[in-house]
Amino acid sequence: MKITLSQLSFHTGNFEGNTQKMIAAIEQAKQEGTDLIVFSELATCGYPARDFLEFKDFIAQAEQSILTLASYCVGIAAIIGSPRTNPVIEGKDLYNAAYFLENGGIKQIVDKTLLPNYDIFDEYRYFEPNRHFELITFQEFKIALTICEDLWNLNDNPMYITTPLDELIKQGPDFVINIAASPYSQIQIEERRKMLLGNAKKYKLPIFYVNHIGAQTHLVFDGGSCFISKGGTIEDELNYFEEDTHSYLVEKTTELTIQSSSSSRPVNLIRNKYKDIEAALTLGIKQYFQKLGFSKAILGLSGGIDSALVTYLAERALGKENVWAVLLPSQYSSDHSISDSITLANNLGIKNSTIPIENTFQSFLTTLDPFFEGTPFGLTEENLQSRTRGVLLMGLANKFGYILLNTSNKSELAVGYGTLYGDMCGGISVIGDLYKTEIFELCKYINRDKEIIPTNILTKEPSAELRPEQKDSDSLPAYEILDQILHYYIEERMGPAQIAEQGFDPSLVQRILKMVNMNEWKRWQAPPVLRVSKKAFGPGRRVPISGKYLY
């Protein structure tokens, strides 16, 4: 039997587009002699569909897509993820299902058993868990078909009472197929591999794994579909961050043998963190624009490292002809900030324009002077500069059909160093899940072969340049310290005492954590953040705005 793993990018709710993409893959696989082609979890409707799943029309279109795809499965079988209606009254209305299609119809359906309900996952909100375990029989093979989380209940402290493979192994399967929608994070590739290898070793079964590729709003899916031997070795791995297809020959004589139908590619077991982050963010930008039907991005280029990085990523994702960098200097902007910005724009070959804001800012002050009279220059005036820039950028974006890219980093978002309706404007937050220290490291990686981002941008002390001689260090600890404290609190969910035990001043820890919690209201109004860590701001981190914890 020849099995083809088809790692494709799907668009949530785009039933026609998703279906046609799978039909093309099925037809190509037929020509190549494939017996069984495998697609990923919820491939018909895209993942995550969220509250679209509550619309009967949405589910009806998904089910029609399955019938359409089944009609092409003559001379070939397919496994396709799709939601299905629960046929009984009890329980949730839907199942997260894997359809086995053969001979022009639906031969069998396997439902997902373990429904994740943590971080960015919210599946138990919509789906009923499976309670019936049965193998798929195709040709002479018995297949244990599972869906994503069904393989993740493999540790010393399992989250779920039931483990699907514990039930399926009793029926003597020849191998496992797992279809998934597993989003990228800095630790996910390693954790995913560990999980797959652990299952192969525990059950002594080969595993075929098919994952989503692409991006859906804030989530990036990295692919990495693979074949794992029963001994627990990654024999072959599909490309990361791009669509890919690969086939395998499965034979059963005295024992099961599986081999690649073409030359196996070497598996890169050691991943480069910053290469993967760059690829993830680039893909996130590209698909956010494609799926919204936009092609052009605009952003404010300040001469700082954050906007420099976002500009580089935008050029990679959208092409130099589709990126417009706007310099918005004030009377407090340094000459090198302007010159560094122009150098970067020239290095990337993108359009750049300069709009000084001093006169516009002064007009705001003149208008407000009867109310501000007698008060000192302070944070309000600093914020007015940021909001002046936001108004101008949004005006240009609206007028010419651009999406404004937000350039705030995770360190700033955490402690509230951002101005609503100013530098927090934007359609998508590109680096809002990267700490400042990570941004420096990513830029160094980008410059590994030649200087793309001017060295002066990487070496100068960070500053918002909203008042004379302003530096971030005036009110914040060094980013090397700040980012560690933030990581322990946000990603590791440590309390203040636990963080202090890591070697930090307790009063500093208390001050930083108070800043994080007091600024939750701002983050609720921030643009969606491309997720690259295991705990990003957004749907995966749900804390109260008005809670009184640590302040």
Phi, psi of 205 (to 5 degrees): -130, 140
Taking CA atoms, 60 is separated from 84, 122, 259, in Å, by: 9, 21, 39
Instruction: Show the CA angle centred on residue 11, arms to residues 7 and 15, nearest 5°.
Output: 100
Which has the closest alpha carbon to 134: 98, 101, 103, 102? 98
Q: What is the DSSP letter of 127?
A: B
Closest CA to 313 of 452, 183, 122: 452
Question: How many CA atoms lie within 13 Å of 503's alpha carbon, on the beta-carbon side?
Answer: 2
How far apart (Å, rounded) are the C-alpha atoms in residues 405 and 113?
39
The type of residue at 158 is P
Q: Which of 433, 438, 331, 427 is nearest to 385 (CA)?
A: 331
Catalytic residue check, 107 = no
Give the rounded distance of the alpha carbon of 91 from its chain centre: 31
Options 21, 41, 123, 286, the catalytic residue: 41
| Rounded distance between C-alpha atoms, residue 250 and residue 260, angstroms | 9
Token pair listed for 464: 């918002």
Distance CA 413, CA 431 (A): 10
Report the C-alpha gap between 77 and 105 in whole angstroms: 10
Contact 462, 436 (CB under 8 A): yes
Clarify whether 148 is annotated catalytic.
yes
Q: What gap in Å lies between CA 40 and CA 398, rounded to an integer?
A: 37
CA distance 415 to 444: 25
* Cβ atoms 129, 115 nearer than 8 A: yes
From the candidates 21, 112, 230, 296, give the one annotated as an active-site residue.
112
Residue among 45, 73, 102, 148 flagged as catalytic: 148
Tell me the backbone φ, ψ of residue 235, rounded to 5 degrees. Answer: -80, -30
Helix axes 436-446, 273-292, angle to 10 degrees: 90
Q: Outline where 333-478 has alpha helix (H).
A: 335-348, 358-372, 379-400, 410-415, 436-446, 455-459
Q: Is 381 a catalytic residue?
A: no
Burial of 144 (0-12, 13-18, 19+ CB in 10 A): buried
Phi, psi of 367 (to 5 degrees): -65, -35
Active site residues: 41, 112, 148
